[in-house]
Structures are given as C-alpha cells and as structure tokens.
Structure 1
Amino acid sequence: MRKIIVGAFTSLDGVMQAPGGPEEDPTGNFKFGGWVPHYFDKTLEDMVGEMFSKPFDLLLGRKTYDIFAAHWPYAPEGDAIGPLFNRINKYVATRNPNLKLDWQNSHVLRPDAVSAVKALKDGDGPDLLTQGSTDFLKTLFQYNLVDEINVAVFPLILGQGKRLFGDGAFPHGWKLVSSKASDNGVTINKYARGGEIVTGSFAFDEPTEAELERRRNLT
C-alpha cells in the first residue's frame, strides 16, 4: 500500500496560496504572492531535499499541475528538481475527464479523483506526494486519505487566500513525529496519523447555576 504525504508551506493563518511568486496565483485578488523566498534558508532547503530523497510520485490538483508544467520542464541545466519531476509520474485531479496533459509521465485521475486515488493507494509503487493543490487537498482530507503531513509554518499572517484546511475535513488525531525551527522563525513539523480524537473536560463535576444559565442561553 502506498502512503499519501502532504507537503505544504503555510502562513500562521493557514494560507498556502502563491508562495513562490507574485504571478503564481493572484486569483481572488491575492496580493502577497511570493511570501516564501524571503524566509528560504538551509533548513528549508534540507526539508525539501528530505521530502524528495525517497522515491515518490506527485499527486496534484489541476491548477498546481499547470504551474509546475509551465516551470519545471524549462528549469535551467544543473537544476536538480526539474529532471526529477520530469521523470516521475504525475497524477492530476481535474473536473475535465477528457483533459490531455502534455508534460511527460502525466496522468489524469479517472474516472474520478477519489476512486482513482484509492486505487493508487491500494496498488504498488512509491508514495504519493502532494505539493500545493489546495482544492484537491480538501478532498483528500474530507475522505480521510492522507497518511502524513509535512508542513512548514511561516511567521506571518496573510489574512486572505487559499488555506490548507477547510470545513469538512475528516476528524482525526495526528501524532507529531518531528519538529524543528529555522533561524528565520519557520517551524517545520511532520505528523503521522494518530487515531481517534480523544475529548475531555475541565468543567466542575457539578455545574454552577451560572454555568447552567450560560448553557441555556447558547444559540
């Protein structure tokens, strides 16, 4: 069985949109494209290198695929990521089942993204790594298909934009596997699936009259 591993850069308020540059994804009048390069250092370089050090295939939403396909095949000579991304399989979620993809080793997830991803997970092959793909990630979290989350959280609040999580994600506990911080204040965390959510309470065994009144007034 293959794992689905999420790789994500987010702001403190969970925004993932357009980390690499102003023209990457300005949709929704997003004004802060390119918020990652200022913070990128050896620690983040090592994080990316570790994610790409083991065999993997890419699992992408259509918009992120378009961004990658317009960039990585044209990377300058000596770039390590371009040839790697050209060589591996790229599985793409799209609402257009007849879409033709020109980038080598690219495949549309058919007949629909969820059933196709489930089939990939149950089959043989390397793990499936996501990059970007905020809309597609919401579907993966909704159907409880994610096995590991690698998230770098940057010390800034963007206030608007496409976010890592949205309403409808499958409730689930996660276990922190590792954590480190860069000199620039970016925290890099790896999470593995941790089982059912465990709840508890700090309330008094016997609620006060004030507490009972508060509960009655809840809307």
Structure 2
Amino acid sequence: MRKIITNTFVTLDGVIQAPGGPEEDRAGGFEFGGWSFNYWDDVMGQVMGEGMSQPYDLLLGRKTYDIFAAHWQFIENDPTADQFNACNKYVATQTLKDATWQNTILLNGDTVEQVKALKAEDGIDLQVHGSADFIQTLLRHNLIDEMNIWIFPLVIGNGKKLFTDGTIPSNLKLTKHTVSGTGVIITTYIPDGDIKPGSFALDEPTELELKRREGIR
C-alpha cells in the first residue's frame, strides 16, 4: 500500500492559492501570489530537505504539473530537480492528452479510481505538492494518509482554501511540529478516526438554556 502525502502552504485564514509567485494561479483575480516567499529561512529549508530525502513519486493536479514542468526540467545541479525529473509524475487531468516531461503518467480516465489503484500498489509514497483544486478531490474521497501543513502568519481573505465544503469530517492527530524563525508553524497530521462530539453543558439544563434552545431571546 502506497501512502498519499500532501504538502501544503496555508495562511492563517486557510488560503492555499499561489504561495510561490504572482503568476502561479491568478484564478478569481487573486492578487497576492508569492505570499510565502519572504518567510523562507534555514529551518524551513532543512525540514523541506528531510521530507524530500526519501524516494517518492509525484501525484499532481494539472495546474501544478504545468508549473513544475515549465521549471524543474530546466534546472541543473539541484537535488530537488534531479528527484523531480527522475521520479514518476502522475497527473490528474481531463484536459492534458500528451506530456513531454519524462516519466509523466496521465490519469485522465476515472481519476478517483485510478488514484485508488495507485494507493493499492506496493511501492514508494506519492507526494502531492500544491494542487489546490485536486486536493479537494482527495479530501472528499478520504484518500490522504498524511498531511504536511505549513501555517504562515498572515491572512489574505479571498482565495482557494485548503478545507472546503465536501471535506469528510474527521479527527487529525499531530505527529510532528516545529516553528521557523519567521513564525511559520510546520506541522504533520495523520487521520485519527471519526469526530466524537461531547458537551460542556449542565446535565440538567436551566430554564434559560431550554428557552435558548427553543429560539426564545
């Protein structure tokens, strides 16, 4: 069984759109592309390097694949570029019919079933980077085994969010965390079962509480 591991940069208010540059994703008139750039420090570089030091394949949405393909295959003498160029790159797409970046495999049939089949194989983990739209499909179908979420100390307001309508309600367990010198909280979560609601209310509700529940103010 292969694990699907997502790697996501997110603002305090949940925006994940275009962290790397102004031209990354302007959908919806997004104006703040590149919002993560000025927070980068050595701690973040070390954590990123450790997370990408083991063998992996990439599982990407179409837009992130296009960004990567236009960049990494033209970079030389760089460990990340070497890994990205050598690994298999599975692309969830209904529009891309051909790809020139080496080791690209298009998932343009029933993408969800194709991803499930990939997970069921023996092999190395599948890393998802970016892929703001595709990650919603993974969340809706409960296909993510581990989430690396880097929380940046800023708010943007509008933009594509990490958790949206359709996400399956569930508990998450924090397994690792650290904080960069610039205040970025670097976390790793794994699924931890269903939500089990409880209550801090009195065992015997007061008359005012009963009226409140009835909508009387």
TM-score under structure 1 length normalisation: 0.95
> 1:108-158, CA deviations, whole angstroms, 9 ceiling, x for partnerless residues?
114211100100000121101100011111110111110101111000001
Structure-2 residue corresponding to 1:117: 115
Give secondary structure in 2 for the equivalent of 1:107.
Answer: strand
Q: Which runs of 4+ in 1 moved over 3 A?
A: none
Give secondary structure in 1 for the equivalent of 2:133.
Answer: helix
> 1:39-68, CA deviations, whole angstroms, 9 ceiling, x for partnerless residues?
001111112112211111111011111111
User: How far apart, in 2, do the equivalents of 1:216 and 1:92 lie?
Assistant: 51
Amino-acid identity (%): 54
Q: Does 1:80 align with 2:79?
A: yes
Deviation at 1:78, TM superposition (A): 2.1
Q: Does 1:39 align with 2:29?
A: no
User: How far apart, in 1, do the equivalents of 2:139 and 2:70 lie?
Assistant: 27
Matches within 5 A, 1:96-115: 96=95, 99-115=97-113
Structure-2 residue corresponding to 1:200: 198
> What is the aligned residue count?
216
Matches within 5 A, 1:14-93: 14-75=14-75, 77-93=76-92
Deviation at 1:95, TM superposition (A): 2.1
Give secondary structure in 2 for the equivalent of 1:66.
Answer: helix
2:94 touches 2:108 (CA, 8 Å); kept in 1?
Answer: no
Matches within 5 A, 1:138-149: 138-149=136-147
Unaligned runs of 5+ in 1: none
Deviation at 1:82, TM superposition (A): 1.3
What amino acid maps onto 1:80 in structure 2?
P
Unaligned runs of 5+ in 2: none
Q: Does 1:133 align with 2:131?
A: yes
Structure-1 residue corresponding to 2:12: 12
User: How far apart, in 2, do the equivalents of 1:152 and 1:102 lie?
Assistant: 31
Give secondary structure in 1 for the equivalent of 2:31.
Answer: coil
Structure-1 residue corresponding to 2:93: 94
TM-score under structure 2 length normalisation: 0.96
Between stretches 117-126 and 21-30, larger displacement belongs to 21-30
- Over the aligned positions, Cα root-mean-square deviation in angstroms equals 1.3
> 1:163-215, CA deviations, whole angstroms, 9 ceiling, x for partnerless residues?
11111111111111011111100000011121121211001111122222222
Structure-1 residue corresponding to 2:162: 164
User: How far apart, in 2, do the equivalents of 1:88 and 1:94 lie?
Assistant: 18
